[in-house]
Amino acid sequence: MTINLTDIFNLKDSVIYNPDNFKSVSKVSIDSRTMKKNSLYVALKGNRYDGHNFVDDAIAKGASSIMINRNRLKNFKDVDCTIITVPNTTYAYGELASAYRRKFKGEVISITGSNGKTTTKEILATILSEKYKTQKTEANNNNHIGIPKTILATKRTTEKLVLEHGTNHFDEIKYTANIAKPDYAIITNVGDSHLEYLIDRDGVFKEKNALFAETLKNGGTIFVNNDDPIIKYETRSVKRKITFGFKGKPNIKGRLNGFTSEGRTKLSVEYSSKKIAAELPLYGISNAKNTLASVGVAMHLGVPSGKIKSGINKVKQVKGRLYVEQFTNLTLIDDTYNSNPASMEAAIDLLKRIKTHSTKTLIIGDMFELGADAELIHAKLSQLILGSKIQNIFMHGKLMENLSNALQNKKVNSKHFATRRLLKVFIDENNFDNQIILIKGSRGMQMEEFVEQIRSKAK
C-alpha cells in the first residue's frame, strides 16, 4: 500500500510544490530519527516539540517529500524535494491515515473502555496471531496521533489490525474511529474515568459509544459487555451485536472456575457449540473479563479452540498493569500505569486473593481526573480497604489525605506521607519480608519509582 499523488491532492486545502518530483511512498514518518529513504516526513507541531525544526534532518536521512504547515513555507524555500503545505499537519496526518485505511484489505478490530483496553488489545492480538497475520497498537499510541501512526505502519499482508482507542475529552474517539473505520468494536466497560472532562458515566459512555456508532455506520459488528449495565441498556435495540459476559445468557458465556494460590484465574468460555477452558497467565478477575472478551472475538473470527488456548498460553503480563512478581521473600503487584476507582477495586481484589503471604500491604497514590467528587471518592476507598483485611496502607498525594483521615482510629496500620522523599525514606528503612505488596496510583504520581525500590530490596 502506498500514498500516491492523488491522495496528496485530495488532502483538504493542500498545495504541492514540485509535484513532478513526487514519488509514491509506502512510509510516512513524524520522527526524523527513524526516517527511511524515499519516505514522506510530516512535521507535526505539539505542545513540547515542533517537527518543523527537524525537516533538514529528515531530508538528510532520505525523506523524498515533506509536509509542513502553510504558514511555515517561507522557512523552506531552498529545500530540494517535494513540499506539501496544509493548514494543519496534524489533521492532514489523520487524512493520510484515512486514505491508507481505505486501501487496507484486512479487518480492523477497535477497542476502548474505562479499564482493560490495553490488556484486552494485547490478549486479542496474541490469540489472533495464532491464525492470522496480525498487527496491533504499540506502546501507548492510542490517541489522535497514535491511531494514524499505527494505521500508516500497517503492512499490506496484515489480515487483522487490533487498535486501542484512548480518550479523556469529548469527540476524541469520534475522530479516531472515523479514521479507523472498524469492522468490529469492543467497549470493555464504562467507569469513573476522566470525569474531570467527561463529567459522569453517561458522559463516559457517550464518548466511548462513538466507536460503536462508527462501526455500525460502516456495516460492522459490535461486541457488547452484557455485565456492564450502561452498555447493555444503551445497546438494547442494536441488531448487529454479539454479547459477552459472566451473568445471564449472553452469546459468549464466561465462567470463573476458581483461583490458584498465586491468584491466577481459571476460566472457561462457551460460544455457539465451542468451549474452551484455561488457567490464565494473567492475574485478577479484571483480566478474566479482558480474556473473555478477547476469546469471544477470536472464536467469532474463526480461530480454532486449540489455537486460542495456545495463544492464551503465550500472553505476557503487561508491566504496570496488575503485573505480579514472585520473589523469595515477598510478592509484588505493580499496577502503577494508571488508577481510577474501578481499577483500584480490581487491584485490591487481586491483593485479597493471593495467598502466598499472610500480610497484605497497599502503597497508593492519588487518582486523577475524577472531577468535583474526587475528595469523596478517595475517602470512600476506606470502605473497600477495611473490608479486604489489608493490614498496612501507606499513602502519598494530596487527595489521599482524604483516605488517610477516613482510616483514622480504624484497626489498620495506615500512614500518609506528605512528600515522595518521606515515602522513599520509609521504604528504605523498613522490612517488607513475607508480605504481598500492591503499588498503585495515577500516571502522574509516578508510583513506579516505589516499585523499583521494593524490587531492589527483594533481590
CA-closest candidate to residue 156, choices 27, 41, 67, 37: 27
For residues 428-445, average pLDDT = 96
| CATH architecture of the domain covering 5-96 | 3-Layer(aba) Sandwich (3.40)
Helices (H) and strands (E) in the chain, counts: 16, 20
**What would the grid cell of residue 432 be?**
517488607
pLDDT per residue as tens digits for the range 311-363: 999 999 988 999 999 999 999 999 999 899 989 999 999 999 999 999 999 99
Q: Round the average pLDDT of the chain to a whole number and report it.
A: 94
Q: What is the distance between the alpha carbons of residues 292 and 281, in angstroms, rounded to a whole number?
A: 13
Element (H, E) at 182: none
For residues 247-275, average pLDDT = 93
**What would the grid cell of residue 223 be?**
461486541
The DSSP secondary structure of 16-36, one letter per residue, reads EESGGG---BS-EES-GGG--
Give the model's pLDDT for residue 198. 61
Amino acid at the residue 195: L
What pTM does this model have? 0.87
Measured at the alpha carbon of residue 278, what is the angle toward residues 277 and 282, in degrees to the nearest 5? 145
359 strand-pairing partners: 435
* Domain 323-458: CATH class, spelled out: alpha beta
Task: For the sheet with 330-335, list strands across it.
Answer: 323-326, 330-335, 435-440, 359-365, 392-396, 413-417
pLDDT at 176 over 80: yes
Q: Contact 92/11 with Cβ under 8 angstroms?
A: yes
pLDDT per residue as tens digits for the range 292-315: 999 999 999 999 999 999 999 999
SS3 state at 455: helix
Q: pLDDT-derived band of residue 170, with 50, 70 and 90 as boundaries?
A: confident
pLDDT per residue as tens digits for the range 95-120: 999 999 999 999 999 999 988 899 99
Q: pLDDT-derived band of residue 200, with 50, 70 and 90 as boundaries?
A: confident
Domain residue extents for the chain: 5-96, 104-314, 323-458
Measured at the alpha carbon of residue 63, what is the angle toward residues 58 and 67, in degrees to the nearest 5? 80
Q: What is the distance between the alpha carbons of residues 108 and 224, in angstroms, rounded to a whole number?
A: 17
Q: Contact 424/453 with Cβ under 8 angstroms?
A: yes
pLDDT at 370 over 80: yes
pLDDT at 451 over 70: yes
Give the model's pLDDT for residue 46. 87
Element (H, E) at 209: helix 201-217
Q: What is the distance between the alpha carbons of residues 164 and 146, in angstroms, rounded to a whole number?
A: 9
Measured at the alpha carbon of residue 202, what is the angle toward residues 165 and 200, in degrees to the nearest 5? 90
Q: Contact 254/292 with Cβ under 8 angstroms?
A: yes
pLDDT at 37 over 70: yes
Distances (CA, A) of 319 to 68, 451, 459: 37, 11, 18
Q: What is the distance between the alpha carbons of residues 429 and 292, in angstroms, rounded to a whole number?
A: 42
Q: What is the distance between the alpha carbons of residues 292 and 286, in angstroms, rounded to a whole number?
A: 10
- Enter the DSSP assignment of 147: H
- Enter the DSSP assignment of 51: G
| Residue 119 falls in which region: left (phi positive, over 0), alpha (psi -120 to 50) or beta | alpha
Q: Does domain 104-314 have CATH number 3.40.1190.10?
A: yes
Gyration radius of the chain's alpha carbons: 24
Give the model's pLDDT for residue 115. 86
274-283 and 264-271 as β-strands: parallel, antiparallel, unpaired? Answer: antiparallel
Distance between the two ends of the chain, CA-based, in angstroms? 49
